[in-house]
Chains A and B, each alone.
Chain A
């Protein structure tokens, strides 16, 4: 600890912190990807029909919702917060898309962005409450969730009307460049998301804020705007998922977002992010979301009791998390060196 080191040797060592961080994130993303492939291949043991390209397509289409959602959740967690208002915001997007836009409204091209903007507004209110009024993110987003969900219940009288906009149906049901459209859109989304989070200044700001708010403030990061921004993006992602879900199942329901909250947080954590913020990559999160979806698909093919299936699913998630622990990487690095 107090041992003095010769400045010369220190200089020779060089700064390896950057590369260590890079390799850690890369490794966790790669591990998740490898796990996915392993799962898919081993699925052939369960049923010969699994592991085919068809199944990959099913996983990607079903995983579309979770990937988009957990990207927004990932940004919020990265900045040191948590977004519990996702289910209500998904439902908001879905219900507005069916009731305002409907199947063949020629105004869909401007109404759908308006729907997304309304969802973004929900995120903006959450963000303002958290940053200016200092309400803890957990409480603020939960409150917004309850308010939005109840408003929707009142607005729809319990029965959401209307049908899915053609654009949403096209998004989920058509094929584009030989692939299902949602898969192509998903690839585009991941690329843009990666550019924003890992290659833009705003992305770097978020890492800075999540690591140390005070330091980021002193360093001149616009902390207020950058703390609110992730909630807005997250809400817009959720609204987009709502529209996509409406296209997928041809209609909105009031509980359509309920199943996605915990998986969205789990994807982020499995993908190697710290739940405390400041660390993680969106590629890892995408991998986490795909891993969870793959797992769900394979597990449901097992001809077992429901209880046992859920136990296995939970165990694999736990196993993946343990595998991605930082200590493990530290150990591996020292062993390989």
Chain B
């Protein structure tokens, strides 16, 4: 135990030293690499693997390849397992832990202990309420309210809709739905005829939507969280016309939005929501802080809300998002692929192969993040801070304006 604290002290002194002198590769030249842990809670869906793959690809891109020792750990969906994983990482002398947290509160005590020993904690997508950790997340950017308003606009303020939600009892699902309801509740013409949990999964969404369609002969629109491609398939299976809908970033959904045949059947909408690119952004921020290129106190950092209406979907010809394209063709990625994994501004050094295989792009080098990249996020009680006050304009629309009045 004492040895560990000593080690932590030495490491943090070294950090301060490098920070002061501003020598970026001091560590690397000493033959000593930053020890960075990537802690996933679970693996096995496209989102989680893409998020992990781009971090691996970045860590293998020069000059990070000589500066970083990246160790991946998957602890499953149980908070206890992630707590004990964090404990081991702290004891092992981690410089930073990049993590998808399984709970916004359960990990706090361990994170606090790690902070006291000089470990940097970077949470991506999910957040923790412990204020010594950096939260990098789109959660505060208003996915729920913006997509709900876009759907209401498409429907002209009235119609019967389905809500395809995420995982019951999950704070992310609750935040999205609360945001959406803040809009739907304003429109008496909007009637929610079915609400079901789809566990952010295409197949479950498809089956749950099929059940809802059997019970409700008429549906005019669907508000969906991740898994949205299943909604389209269920409508097609039931020989129903497609309807305006909103969802997250699956390649299947984006390609359908751009497909004239689907549009002719009635599909309209917007692709928004959670992007795996947040992990890469968090990792680069952590590296810039470790190498002294950026000074930043622990805080809540907002990842900008992806926003791709049907008219803006453009299929890429190459391996990266250039010339404003934002989805890969079927020959490159399966429909479950989460498109918001690349970001030409924040992560220009990786491409689709990095997202699929975790391989670096040959010849690429790490580009510094734009100086003004960091946007402070709003307080969201119970999500990224506790205790704290919610901003009075928490559900303010940022991406779309109400074109129809209640």
Contact = CB atoms under 8 A, between A and B. Distances in A.
Interface string A21-52: 00000000000000000000000001101100
A221 B318 CA distance: 63
Contacts of A211: none
A276 to B, nearest CB: 31
A132 interface: no
Interface in A50-73: 50, 54-55, 58-59, 61-62
Interface residues of B, number: 42
Classify chain A's interface size.
35 or more
B334 A251 contact: yes
Interface centre among B49, B53, B208 (most CB of A within 10 A): B49
B206 A159 contact: no
A256 to B, nearest CB: 6
Contacts of A46: 215
Interface string B49-62: 11011000000000
Contacts of A250: 233, 252, 335
Contacts of B21: none
Nearest to B332: A161
A72 to B, nearest CB: 20
B45 A301 contact: no
Contacts of A50: 214-215
B356 A157 contact: yes
A192 B170 CA distance: 44
B214 A297 contact: yes
A245 interface: yes
* Chain B interface helix/strand/loop/mixed: helix
B196 A153 contact: no
B202 A255 contact: no
Contact of B336 (A55, A251, A301): A251
Interface string A153-178: 10001111111000000000100000
B49 A301 contact: no
B207 A162 contact: no
Nearest to A256: B203
Interface in A76-97: none
Contact of B206 (A55, A249, A300): A249
A249 B215 contact: no
Contacts of A62: 207, 210-211
A253 B217 contact: no
Given A157-B358, A158-B48, A300 B334 contact: no
Contact of A253 (B45, B168, B210, B357): B45
B215 A253 contact: no
Contact of B211 (A159, A173, A296, A306): A296
B44 A158 contact: yes
A183 interface: no
Residue in A153, A250, A296 with the greatest tally of chain B CB atoms within 10 Å: A250
B337 interface: yes
B201 interface: yes
Nearest to B357: A157
A255 B334 contact: no
Pick from A157, A256, A303, A307 the residue with the most CB of B within 10 Å: A157
A52 to B, nearest CB: 8
B212 A249 contact: no
B168 A161 contact: no
Contact of A306 (B52, B168, B233): B168
A49 B330 contact: no
A223 interface: no
A240 interface: no
A149 B233 CA distance: 27
B24 interface: no
Interface of B: 43-46, 48-50, 52-53, 168, 194-197, 201-204, 206-208, 210-217, 230, 233, 237-238, 252, 330, 334-337, 356-358
Given A61-B210, A249-B233, A297-B215, 16 more contacts: A47-B216, A49-B215, A50-B214, A50-B215, A58-B211, A98-B334, A158-B49, A159-B337, A162-B334, A163-B335, A251-B202, A251-B335, A253-B45, A254-B45, A300-B196, A300-B208
User: 3 shortest A-B CB distances, which residue pairs?
Assistant: A158-B49, A301-B215, A254-B44
24 contacts: A46-B215, A49-B217, A50-B214, A50-B215, A54-B214, A157-B53, A157-B356, A159-B50, A159-B334, A159-B336, A162-B334, A163-B334, A163-B335, A251-B334, A255-B44, A296-B211, A297-B211, A298-B215, A300-B194, A300-B196, A300-B208, A300-B211, A301-B194, A301-B215
Interface of A: 46-47, 49-50, 54-55, 58-59, 61-62, 98, 149, 153, 157-163, 173, 245, 248-251, 253-256, 259, 296-298, 300-301, 303, 306-307
